[in-house]
Every structure is written in C-alpha cells, then in structure tokens.
Amino acid sequence: MPDLPPPLQTLLNNPQAHLEGTDVRIDLSLGRTLLNEVLAARPADTPVEELFLDPENDNTVNLHLEVKAPVIGLVKRRITFRPGGPVVFPSQPWLHLEITDGFRFMDKPIIKLMQGQIAEKLPRGIELTSDHLRLHVPALLTAAGYQKLVPMIKHLQLHSEANCLVIELHLVA
C-alpha cells in the first residue's frame, strides 16, 4: 500500500472505531476519461496491449481489448458486459457482470477448454467464464489491504450511463 497521510492511515487501521455512527449513501459517478486513466495505470508487464472502457446509456459497458496471445498472436475484441444485481453484505459478496456480446466463433469453446488455466492465472476473487465475469468484493478489498472496510459496505451496485459508470454504495459503521 502506498504511503498515506496519517489521518487516512489511522482511519484505515480501524474504520469501525473512527467512523462509528456513519450511515451514508454515495453514487460515485466515474467518467469515461477517468476510467481509462485508471486502466492506463495498469502494470507494464502484462500481455495487454490496449484496454479501454466505453460505458453506454443502456446499462452496458464495452471493453475494448487487444492482447498478445501465445501462438495465435494479437487478439482484438470488443466485449460487452451488463452489470448484475447488487452486492449485499454479508449474504451476497459477488459483483456479477454478464457478458452479453463480443466473443467470436471459437472463443467460447476455447475459454471453456482453458477454464482451469484461466482460473489459475487470475488473481483470487476474479472469476471469468465464457458467460460472465464475477468479482468477489471482500477478497479483492482484502488483497488490496482494505479488509477492515468490508463490514461497512452494506450495498454495492454498478450501473452505466452514457460515458460514465456509477458505483452505488451504502456504507454503515
């Protein structure tokens, strides 16, 4: 974790104690340019040549992807995701994104065939099949060092509007 200002570090060390009594709803609207700045800040040592997001107003998000794959070379796809229902803690920790379009003729059988290898390569908490992408929010927050924030998140849901992705959050401490 990067060096944080002392108040923020103190808060993250024990959010329940320092935020006790908090009950707040946040709709965090992330513009397309900002989302792509986040994606551009990914580590350099990945086979991903190009990666950018394009949120649409019908609650779908297009992911433009260009990857250097072994043997077959450069693969370009535009994969469309539709965000699913809310993450509700502690009963429903998965953020579900249905893949509605974008795979070509042989993509799905190849993904199914390589399912085990894909699972091994992905970080813990990320699940990719030919039909969906699922993110286990507590596992991802824990891996990032923010595990103490997990009990505060009562509701988390994604939806897209034209050129922005909205994260709906309900935090209680």
Partner 1 sequence: MHPVQKHLFDTNFQDLEGTRIEGTIALSDELINLGIMDFLSGLKSTPTPPASKKNSTAPAAAPDPKALLAKLDIEVLQVSAKEGKILLNIKAGI
Name the residues that contact partner 1, by CB under 8 A.
2, 5-7, 10-11, 17-34, 37-38, 40-41, 161, 164, 166, 173
- What span, in angstroms and rounded, lies between the C-alpha atoms of 57 and 4? 36
Q: Rank residues 22 and 147 by Cβ distance to partner 1 and give the closer one.
A: 22
- Least separation, in Å, of the C-beta of 102 and partner 1? 25
Q: Rank residues 89 and 99 by Cβ distance to partner 1 and give the closer one.
A: 89
CB 155 within 8 Å of CB 148? no
Helix, strand or coil, per DSSP, at residue 172 = strand
CB 53 within 8 Å of CB 40? no
Q: Hey, how many other C-beta atoms are within 10 angstroms of the C-beta on 37?
A: 11
CB 23 within 8 Å of CB 172? yes
Q: Rank residues 20 and 101 by Cβ distance to partner 1 and give the closer one.
A: 20
Cis peptide preceding 90, ω within 30 of 0 = yes
The terminus-to-terminus CA distance of the chain in angstroms comes to 23
- Least separation, in Å, of the C-beta of 35 and partner 1? 8
Q: Rank residues 119 and 144 by Cβ distance to partner 1 and give the closer one.
A: 144
Q: Rank residues 30 and 79 by Cβ distance to partner 1 and give the closer one.
A: 30
CB 41 within 8 Å of CB 59? no
- Least separation, in Å, of the C-beta of 158 and partner 1? 14
Angular region, 105: left φ>0, alpha ψ -120 to 50, beta rest: alpha
- Least separation, in Å, of the C-beta of 26 and partner 1? 5
- Least separation, in Å, of the C-beta of 20 and partner 1? 6
